[in-house]
Chain A
């Protein structure tokens, strides 16, 4: 009886949670891979200019939720039911221009994936495919994007070198610069530090805290400590279901669900 009461209170709390003008909002989002259902009726809100951490044990649907926010999920063969809104527009609607929308919602992957071209061309690529070829514009955007991620000083003399020659940490910051070059509103990051050494990981974390002044950031992480360090807003998933969503402080200090509590205490991963 106590537990039912608690979960009712918990649901009510989520309903009451007011986020002014969420940048991204999902409504009863379900995702299927063939017969396997990876997400079940997930409704969440992503607040503007904050870092939202999506947490949960492996296979809980974290990456699926992230990838359904920029429709990359469809390329993995995921079938989407329910709604995802970006600034109020249904992104799975017929009238959406996917290219435009994917520029607005940038993505950084778990494994750094620079394109097989020079450092310069990697950052310029997103502009070139829009037909922007003016060298002075490209030069300016490349410099500014690399400066933001703190890579400019390290690579300014070898912009023409293959990007794949950079170290893992540099590659990941290059991927962030590449995403920033097309002026997104949202940055989605899928465990961006899990393949990096601790020092590089720390740099990326610092960068994200800086970036949240201008960008809405959503980060998937399986590292509770990282989420504690970075997150303003948190989403906890378990077996494809939303267990808990709320301000980071509340979720970490006073989780409403027993599953969240157990996860935070490292009882399963």
Chain B
């Protein structure tokens, strides 16, 4: 019985991949990956959406990683256990559980309108950063706390200051965990639809976003549009092709991150 339950997730995963591959693989070619869409994506390629996704997610990580790791260092190493810290932790937990559509709405009112960023790569990246920030904080804090005290003692006993110890020993040792956290956030960000729809806009499919103030269409948004507005099966297959591209992009980034992670693990094992 339990065996069956443990088989359901991998089975789901495999069938999704198989189905995606069967329906999407044949549309993937050079023109699809490097071309511009025509007829609202029914023909042509998805290059603007690939660039849009990477651009928005890149800005998101650029904001969320330093902020998240910084907050984690403070919480793990400096924060006194008082009411203020506990309130901060509570809000971090709340933010983690916030439905993405609500974060999208907030991004729309605050970033797009109040800060007058408009539908833009920047607004999208920032809103996504709000969304993944709690995950980055929590995973980083856990891995920083898991660094053995012996390492810190060794460093301090050699005359290192607290900050030197954190910078050279603690963060380096916690790096594999921090990278896992970033990867988790990256996966959530690159696959997110609701938040970017509200903040980066739908973009114009055939327009390559260059400035951070340009609107952008990301892969999930492009996928959504294709899937809901195609009236031919060929157009629908392009949605599967887009999904497959999105997954491949995520897989390649994960492999890269895991390779970096392994470089850090080398010293601990």
Contacts and interface: CB of A to CB of B under 8 A. Distances in A.
B154 A115 contact: yes
Contacts of A136: none
Contacts of B17: none
A164 B150 contact: no
Contacts of B156: 72, 75, 102
Nearest to B265: A116
Contacts of B154: 109, 113-115, 175, 178
A49 to B, nearest CB: 21
Contacts of B161: 99, 129
A75 B148 CA distance: 14
Contacts of A125: 155, 158, 160, 168
Interface string A120-164: 000001100110000000000000000000000000000000101
Contacts of B173: 116
Given A129-B168, A164-B267, A115 B155 contact: yes
Contacts of B160: 99, 125-126, 129
A40 interface: no
B157 interface: yes
A161 B153 CA distance: 22
A63 interface: no
Contacts of B268: 116, 162, 164
A111 interface: yes
B169 interface: yes
B266 A162 contact: yes
B150 A117 contact: no
Nearest to B165: A129
Interface string A65-76: 000001010010
B166 to A, nearest CB: 12
Given A116-B268, A129-B168, A111 B158 contact: no
A70 B156 CA distance: 10
Interface in B130-162: 148, 150-161
Interface in A37-93: 70, 72, 75
Nearest to B173: A116
A102 B158 contact: yes
Contacts of A107: 153, 157
Classify the secondary structure of B's interface with A. Answer: helix
A192 interface: no
A169 interface: no
Given A72-B153, A111-B150, A116 B267 contact: yes
Contacts of B266: 162
Given A116-B268, A164-B267, A164-B269, A72 B150 contact: no
Contacts of A179: 157-158
B159 A113 contact: no
B157 A129 contact: no
A129 B158 contact: yes
Nearest to A127: B158
Interface in B221-269: 266-269
A102 B159 contact: yes
A129 B151 contact: no
B164 interface: yes
A164 B173 CA distance: 13
Contacts of B155: 115, 125, 129
B172 interface: yes
A107 B150 CA distance: 12
Given A101-B159, A106-B157, A164-B267, 10 more contacts: A100-B159, A107-B157, A113-B150, A113-B154, A115-B154, A129-B164, A129-B168, A162-B266, A162-B268, A178-B154
Interface of A: 70, 72, 75, 98-103, 106-107, 109, 111, 113-118, 125-126, 129-130, 162, 164, 175, 178-179, 182
20 contacts: A70-B157, A100-B159, A102-B158, A103-B158, A103-B159, A106-B158, A107-B153, A109-B157, A113-B151, A113-B153, A115-B154, A116-B267, A125-B158, A129-B159, A130-B159, A162-B268, A162-B269, A178-B154, A179-B157, A182-B159
Q: Top 5 nearest A-B pairs by Cβ distance?
A: A113-B150, A103-B159, A126-B158, A116-B267, A107-B157
